Structure 1
Amino acid sequence: MDKATRAIRRSGVRLKSINSGHTDLALVISGIRDMRIGLKSFQNAQTAVSQDMMVWSHTDENRAIQDVMEQINELHIFWADSQKNFLDQLKSFKHDFEMILEGERQVDAARGKLAQAEQREYKIKKELKKAVKKASVEELNSLETKLTDAERAKDLAQFDAVEKMQENEACKLIRLKEGLSKLSESYLEMAHKMAIIFEAQREVTQAIPDVHTTALHEMKYTGGGATKRAVQKAKDRLDRYHSFKYKLVAHGTVEPPPPYTPGYFASEAGMPYEHDLASNDVRLRPARVMSMEPQAPPLDDETVLRDQREYLRVQRDRERAARRYSSEDEEQQRLGAHKL
């Protein structure tokens, strides 16, 4: 039934977009709307089941079941709030595509005006060509004036169309990048909050006493304090979540966490967090930073040749200076011997 309803809805979207075009964009917007509707229905069903379980637990006098169901209902309220934030982000993502569709329609309108201006210019040129042989000078001047105006209008329409197309392409890139980035962050936020909430639910569930050979009337429920602490700890971690911004770390700088570990990342240091199951807290995971020994940059061929030429020039200068000093010494010795 759901598949049939979805097929009918998509067919309706195609029919509506026949005249305006951009059927693919319209289907994307319709699909995001279906995502929001489906997630909202799932959220409402979860909340209803949680409340029904709590009501059912109070029909009996089993204190363990009553306490556990009350705490789980409290956790499901947190989970509903987390899903609501994701629903808001889906709505914003749908709005981004609606704005992209609006930009495409503006480009279509600009192209339509350009086509009308070109058609008007073509008609005037055709009339002027027919009137060259039999029209008067005044009529020819009037047609030439109309042609000049039509050409100017066409140039303006062409400039506007090109400007609208360039602006639309830039806006599409900006909106798509920002929309997908925010949606990805919202997915990660919901996943991390889900891990916090349902880890607490697992801890609350463990408070239900195990049934052994002991008579049921002798069993005592002592997990009330533990369940309340687990829920309060989850609430505190959710309140502090925004200080643990998810941050991608450059490849090769920090060893990434294994795929089965729920990671939390610090915006300041870019270091992944890990969840301590014993204390139910979040703490920094030790990271291995790759160290590299400093190396001199490689020399290119031009640098080597330049250094060699400089070295040879210095050697030639030294040889010339040595020969000059040697000749001066010999001349002084010769003059001294002549005086003697």
Structure 2
Amino acid sequence: MEKASKALRRSSVRLKSMSSGYQELSMVISELRGVRSTAKAFAEAQCSAAQDMLKWSLTEENPAIRDTFFQLSELSALWTEVQKEFADHLKEFVIQFEMILEGEHHVDQARTHVAASERRAVKIKNKLNKASKRGNVEETRQLEMKLTEAKDSCDLAQIEMSDRIQENEGVKLIRVKEGLLKLSDSYLELAHKCHIIHEAHRDIAYQIPDVHNKELHEITYAGPELSKQAVLTAKDRVRLYNRHAEHAGAPVHEGPPPPYSPPRDLCNTTPYNPYYTHPFYISPHTFGSHETNDENSSNRLLDSDTQTHLPTNPDVTRHSDYEDDLAGAVGSMKP
């Protein structure tokens, strides 16, 4: 059904643009509009799925599931906003081609004006020949003056058409280059922000406790503060992202780069994690009402890849910011 709808739409565009002679350019505009609408639909589908996952998690008794999807819903809202911005950039790219098409129509108008001037001059010339054969001197003189004016108008129209064509070709190059550069920056911005958001997404997922070879009452969830910090950090990095500063001073390569081999001491280094540069302690949540004296249930220092157990700090207490946020979310989700 979708393929048939697409084929019908493309055929409709070709039929509408057949008289203008710009079928391919009209097809480009139509397809770019389709790209934008599809991108918006994809963003909306992701947002809807994230909302449904949040609703499901709020029905669960497991605090790790509730907290994880609550924080992921925050990232989903941020990701939806980023994709909407990208869709707006796509619209700007479509506008560039629409303006190119408008310029082509202006050139056509100039050509039409030249053709009309030439037809008028030919018509006056035919009348002049007939008047000369009849020997009407006064009519011949008037027609000669009109023919001179028509030729001057035709020459002026030719000059205007030539200038319009040259101007249009120059403007076309400017619009194509500007549009492509902005589109590239838009994709790069989307990629960078996608990396930031889904890096935080992965870090939140890492906070879900492992249950292998453990009893349920032995499992502790120590992720609320770290998950919340990952979301806040992602929001700040997305907000402070500057596409121009990101590429400022970047060299323009005129050829392929030279062969490069990374140093051996850098091959096995651990990737830098920007979220947990400054570690902090948190107290664990416990599943159910069971209690345990296991030393592994003490306060932990967590990063995105490993969990390092540190000595218990009795002076550290868990903040209630997350609980307040989650309680508000639960209240807002109930009918």
Q: Structure 2 length normalisation: TM-score?
A: 0.74
What is the CA–CA distance in structure 2 between the aligned matches of 1:93 and 1:37, rounded to whole Å? 13
Question: Aligned-residue CA RMSD in angstroms?
Answer: 2.4
Distance 1:251 1:147, change over 3 A: closer
Q: Tell me the CA shift for residue 281 of structure 1.
A: 8.0
Q: For 1:1-340, what aligned pairs fall within 5 Å after superposition?
A: 1-242=1-242, 244-247=245-248, 248-251=250-253, 277-280=272-275
What is the CA–CA distance in structure 1 between the aligned matches of 2:275 and 2:56, rounded to whole Å? 30
What letter matches 1:162 in structure 2? S
Greater Cα shift, 46-55 or 75-84: 75-84
The question of whether the paired residues in 1 share the 8 Å contact of 2:229 and 2:275 is answered with no
- Which residue is 2:297 aligned to? none
Q: Which runs of 5+ in 1 are unaligned?
A: 259-274, 283-340
Q: Tell me the CA shift for residue 256 of structure 1.
A: 9.4
Q: Deviations over 1:162-206 (max 9, x none)?
A: 121112111111111111111110100000110111111111000
What is the CA–CA distance in structure 2 between the aligned matches of 1:26 and 1:250, rounded to whole Å? 33
SS in 1 for 2:156: helix
SS in 2 for 1:228: helix
Distance 1:281 1:114, change over 3 A: farther
Q: Deviations over 1:7-44 (max 9, x none)?
A: 11111111111222211111111111101110000000
- Which residue is 1:314 aligned to? none
Q: Deviations over 1:273-294 (max 9, x none)?
A: xx95334489xxxxxxxxxxxx
What is the CA–CA distance in structure 2 between the aligned matches of 1:279 and 1:164, rounded to whole Å? 54
Distance 1:171 1:251, change over 3 A: closer
What letter matches 1:17 in structure 2? S
Q: Which runs of 5+ in 2 are unaligned?
A: 261-269, 278-335
What is the CA–CA distance in structure 1 between the aligned matches of 2:169 and 2:253, rounded to whole Å? 31
SS in 1 for 2:212: coil
Q: Structure 1 length normalisation: TM-score?
A: 0.73
Greater Cα shift, 181-190 or 144-153: 144-153
What is the CA–CA distance in structure 2 between the aligned matches of 1:93 and 1:279, rounded to whole Å? 33
Q: Deviations over 1:239-267 (max 9, x none)?
A: 22117422432449xx8999xxxxxxxxx
What is the CA–CA distance in structure 2 between the aligned matches of 1:257 and 1:192, rounded to whole Å? 26
Distance 1:257 1:96, change over 3 A: farther
The question of whether the paired residues in 1 share the 8 Å contact of 2:82 and 2:190 is answered with yes
Greater Cα shift, 221-230 or 211-220: 211-220
Highest relative contact order (Cα 8 Å, sep 6+), 1 or 2? 2
What is the CA–CA distance in structure 2 between the aligned matches of 1:193 and 1:30, rounded to whole Å? 28
What letter matches 1:68 in structure 2? T
What is the CA–CA distance in structure 2 between the aligned matches of 1:257 and 1:88, rounded to whole Å? 39
- Which residue is 1:265 aligned to? none
What is the CA–CA distance in structure 1 between the aligned matches of 2:8 and 2:276, rounded to whole Å? 49
SS in 2 for 1:160: helix
The question of whether the paired residues in 1 share the 8 Å contact of 2:117 and 2:153 is answered with yes
What is the CA–CA distance in structure 2 between the aligned matches of 1:239 and 1:257, rounded to whole Å? 36
The question of whether the paired residues in 1 share the 8 Å contact of 2:114 and 2:157 is answered with yes
Q: Deviations over 1:87-132 (max 9, x none)?
A: 1111111111111111111110110110011111112223323332
Identity %: 49
The question of whether the paired residues in 1 share the 8 Å contact of 2:207 and 2:227 is answered with yes
Distance 1:11 1:188, change over 3 A: same
What is the CA–CA distance in structure 2 between the aligned matches of 1:238 and 1:75, rounded to whole Å? 11
Distance 1:155 1:279, change over 3 A: closer
